[in-house]
Structure 1
């Protein structure tokens, strides 16, 4: 079993970069995804090129927040009057339902975001997205086409196989996401693969615990599992500053400290060892065989 522990939102804020650095040093996270239009993207890309060699870096595809890489006139259905993404999940979903934008529009923007990652010195190991928007019908296929175009071997398919007996808020969140994720066939594009399942959608914040991961691995037995997490470590003196207003209201900062503390706590190495699992990043895995590439 191979486990990828991925931190979303690198590039969003210095707090995320700081948490990735701390947790990679503890061998608790193995992977992260870069939000290329984030305020901290350039600094995050520099860190990723000089940080731990065992850290894989992908692209966090984004059509929800901030300023697009594409000219607004090329993706009018994805932006508001000021040329920014809408910053509102519900408003974006309404536009999706009304076909105000197409998968081709998203694919165009995501292509430019991957190009931006390369320009920043990042060779992406995989793709995922802000709020898992890439699993909306039609958009998943677009994300897989982008991956194939750049030779990126892995795309997140956020299926969390929650227990049938569980009906709390977290499990409902995972089940709703599963409706989208399970509506797609696995990518037919040769050279593009998805993890068997994920962990961290139902259990977030202080509930992201090694004993829960251990129970999940024992019950589900995935060959490739991705742990999705959102830790952050804000500067103690408050010098990081707030997120720019153009990103819209965000609640994710409320998870930062809890998930950073949860991931820094003991028990994670034991959970992996008991499952016979190895901590890796996607760049170490062959999408065709779902095993380690030669030399890893």
Structure 2
């Protein structure tokens, strides 16, 4: 079994970069995805040289901050101030009512990918802010861009949970399952068999719960989705133009879990090899 432990939101804030640095050094985190428009991007991309075994991908973003594209070229994606809308519910409503143009989504995501490439990022995979690339029509678009830019892997945010589970975590995973129902599978880019960490966050991001999940579903390749942070008193706040964010509330608990709860021992126990997507052959899904 191969397990990719991916930290989302790299580039958002120094606390995320610090967490990735420490957890990669410990061997627990193997992967992270970068926000091209994140204020900490320039410092964050240096981690791929500090940690050669750390894979870096693109965290495609339609939700937060200033777009990489000229706002005048993507009017359906921005507000009157030229910023991405910053509110998930309002963006979803605009998308569901046909107010978002796919051509503009493609233009903005392409600009983000090319911006990361211009920063010499060796992209291993794609995912997205709030898993928006799972929305109907967008998963195929993300796959198209992966093929265009030679990226072999993409997150398919499919988390398997029993029907008897009734909580907010279950609702998140069910919504994404419904979104993905009409999405076709493709040979390239490849996806992991499933993910874990969408339903179980904060104090539930626990290796014992992960072990139980693995024992039920037994995937060959699985991605752990997580959002740790390690803030410092001098860091400053989250960027105001990104809109309200709850991720800061996850930082401490998820960092403490990943650094203190014996994840590597659990991986060894269940026969899981920590890897990043760049170490996997997208044709076979096997370690290169």
**Which interval holds the TM-score relative to the shorter structure?**
over 0.9
Measured in 1, the distance between the counterparts of 2:158 and 2:59 equals: 17
- Aligned pair partner of 2:286 in 268, 280, 291: 291
Distance 1:275 1:183, change over 3 A: farther
| Root mean square deviation of aligned Cα | 1.1
- After superposition, residues 101-250 of structure 1 pair within 5 angstroms as 101-187=100-186, 190-235=187-232, 238-250=233-245
Alignment: residue pair count: 288
Structure 2: how far apart are the matches of 1:175 and 1:38?
Answer: 29
Q: Does 1:89 align with 2:64?
A: no
Deviation, structure 1 residue 14: 0.2
Query: Residues 170 and 202 of structure 1 are in contact (CA less than 8 Å); yes or no, is this contact kept in structure 2?
Result: yes
1:37 aligns to what? 37
Task: Call closer, same or farther: CA 1:173–1:191 in 2, change over 3 Å.
Answer: closer
* Aligned partner of residue 244 in structure 2, secondary structure: coil
Query: 2-side partners of 1:30 and 1:71: how far apart?
Result: 34
Tell me the equivalent position of 1:273: 268
Is contact 2:169-2:198 (8 Å) kept?
yes
CA distance in 2: counterparts of 1:98 and 1:134, whole angstroms? 17
**2:14 corresponding residue in structure 1:** 14
Deviations 1:33-90 (A, max 9, x none): 00010010111112x2322111000000001000111111211000011111010111
Q: Secondary structure at the match of 1:77?
A: helix
SS of 2:45's equivalent? helix
Unmatched 5+ stretches in structure 1:
none
Quote the residue 2:63 is aligned against. Answer: 64
Quote the Cα distance in structure 2 between the aligned partners of 1:68 and 1:164: 38
| TM-score normalised by length of structure 1 | 0.95
Q: Secondary structure at the match of 2:6?
A: strand
Do the aligned residues in 1 keep the contact of 2:143 with 2:188 (CA within 8 Å)? no
